Structure 1
């Protein structure tokens, strides 16, 4: 019985190994066929390029000629940038206004654009694009996250991670924003700056927010300064007490011990008052910085330059874009013709 069982087990193992071997062979053949198919497609694509190479060259040369002429007759475009810091949650309104200006420039509504930006109609006609985008890096985002977390309660602080904050971060949340104006007049951006800023500063809601903030800062400043005066008065009082204790005669050893203990208490109290005064002075410095930061509804960090910089992006030149478009159109046309030819031959072969 044992010999028969061993023989049957050997047969089963042999069949198992044969099945595994067949499976591996099929897998390797399948992978090999994939590589062969990919290689075949690459060869066909290279043959297609070789056969039609002259057509692509002609299309590119024609595109270069047209693009070169287009660039030569086109007026130069100038770009100007301004960095701003919106206060009192005015970033959304600023984005809306800039997008409105950009739509007017695209649609050619130059009279409305001129009225909005307080410039002449001819100057408005020179504007081709007005855009706004967030101007922030990882360090600024990390600082904003730290400031945001400091205002939360302990439970919310523990449940919010930096990754979660970044997922919900958008352009409106950034502290600084870049307004970019492009046009054929290099000086028009500077003339538009005041109108862009005043469009936010003249908003009644933001005016009220600014006045309320100024009032709160004045109240906080007066309270802190009063506390600082009280701390200085207490410090002077403790110093006077120390002088009195020093002038008092020492009649006995017990009295001397009590005096030493009282002096130590006075020293500790004076140190505590000095620390409190330091904290209050730090708060005054922060308040002064906050006053400076919130003095305007829109802080202009960097003005528009008096003259914009010439836009000279190589990839945006017509002599680069037009040839690429012509070559792409030629490629698509040849592919469609080849596909049409293949479909005709396929129908004939199946008939």
Structure 2
């Protein structure tokens, strides 16, 4: 039984013609280069055709930039970082939105009353903005919490949870202020803190917290008084033992149940309670409910562009608009030619 050899010859149509591929790629880049060249030629011709318009546009832009620099009111930007346990994201944002409304309305009297500054200083305020600052530790905790939740791979739900947790955990914010006079910055630190402290929601939470802290400090003081009584009992016990010349161990029996107490632990506990009480009293005295991490910095360079930059920007804008006008004129001329050709009578 004979077997015929299989035909292993591959037809030319089944193979990739590398030569044709290279030719196609070369033609593509050649056409691309020609199109770029045509565009450059078109731009050059457009510039020569509309040079008067371009010159007028550039000069007008220069004049406009110079006028803007002289008319525009220069402003300065600085920021401060504040931290508080009592902050609530949406509440703080709404409070500064109200300040912005007063700035935009030019209501300097009410703005000064809100910030406890005079109306002249309030007139220099341009705007306020707020940015939350989330620590890396909070980000890691948020991601760990989300990973423990059974949310699958729903990206929208994960992002919603991440945003909700971030809003609830925001305690540190950057307050960005724009002013027309940089000499206002030194007094804005205390002004912003007073403004936040007078918020009814924050003030209520602070009052409740201070009541709790004061109650805890009073309780610690009462515990110290009990320990003082116990220390007196220990003193009497040791005095009695010394009088009887009783050489026992360091453990002292002070009640009927003969419960053993270490006298040193009593003094250590008394010192610990005293330190904790003093810390709470210090917190009440310092009133550090809102902490300034970094205050406003007085910068001397305004955010508005210099005269040179303003004129350059104006020239670029004027030249660009003039060039666009030239293109529109050329396109309109082309449309008129097409319409004229269509309206020409056809030969019989």
Give the TM-score category using the shorter length.
0.5 to 0.7
Residue matched to 2:99: 101
Give the SS at the match of 1:173.
coil
**1:118-148 Cα shifts (integer Å, max 9, x gaps):** 5666655x43621223264xxx6124447x6
| Equivalent residue in structure 1 for 2:328, among 297, 322, 336 | 336
On the 8 A contact 2:85/2:171 being kept in 1, the answer is: no
**1:233-286 Cα shifts (integer Å, max 9, x gaps):** 999999x999x9xx9889xxxxxxxx9xxxxxxxxx899999989987997798
Whole-Å Cα distance in 2 between the matches of residues 77 and 348 of structure 1?
56
Q: How does 1:114-125 map to 2 (within 5 A)?
A: 116-117=114-115, 124=122
Shift in Å, 1:311: 0.5
Residue matched to 1:18: 13
Residue matched to 2:135: 141
Give the SS at the match of 1:176.
strand
Cα distance, 1:115–1:40 mapped onto 2, change above 3 Å: farther
Residue matched to 1:321: 313
Whole-Å Cα distance in 2 between the matches of residues 296 and 132 of structure 1?
23
Residue matched to 1:70: 68
On the 8 A contact 2:79/2:175 being kept in 1, the answer is: yes
Unaligned runs of 5+ in 1: 150-154, 251-258, 260-268
Whole-Å Cα distance in 2 between the matches of residues 339 and 273 of structure 1?
96
Cα distance, 1:208–1:35 mapped onto 2, change above 3 Å: same
Question: Is 2:170 the partner of 1:173?
Answer: yes
Whole-Å Cα distance in 2 between the matches of residues 167 and 291 of structure 1?
32
Residue matched to 1:207: 203
Shift in Å, 1:191: 6.0
Residue matched to 1:39: 33
Give the SS at the match of 2:178.
strand
Residue matched to 2:255: none
Cα distance, 1:211–1:335 mapped onto 2, change above 3 Å: same
Question: Is 2:157 the partner of 1:159?
Answer: no
Cα distance, 1:341–1:211 mapped onto 2, change above 3 Å: same
Structure with more of its chain in helix, by fraction: 1
Give the SS at the match of 1:89.
coil
Shift in Å, 1:201: 2.3
Residue matched to 1:263: none
Shift in Å, 1:159: 1.7
Cα distance, 1:194–1:241 mapped onto 2, change above 3 Å: closer
**1:11-53 Cα shifts (integer Å, max 9, x gaps):** 5xx22x532325x666555544543444344333433444455
Q: How does 1:253-272 map to 2 (within 5 A)?
A: none
Unaligned runs of 5+ in 2: 150-158, 250-261, 344-348
On the 8 A contact 1:187/1:308 being kept in 2, the answer is: no
Cα distance, 1:48–1:58 mapped onto 2, change above 3 Å: farther
Equivalent pairs counted in the alignment come to 318
Residue matched to 1:254: none
On the 8 A contact 2:75/2:304 being kept in 1, the answer is: no
Give the SS at the match of 1:311.
coil
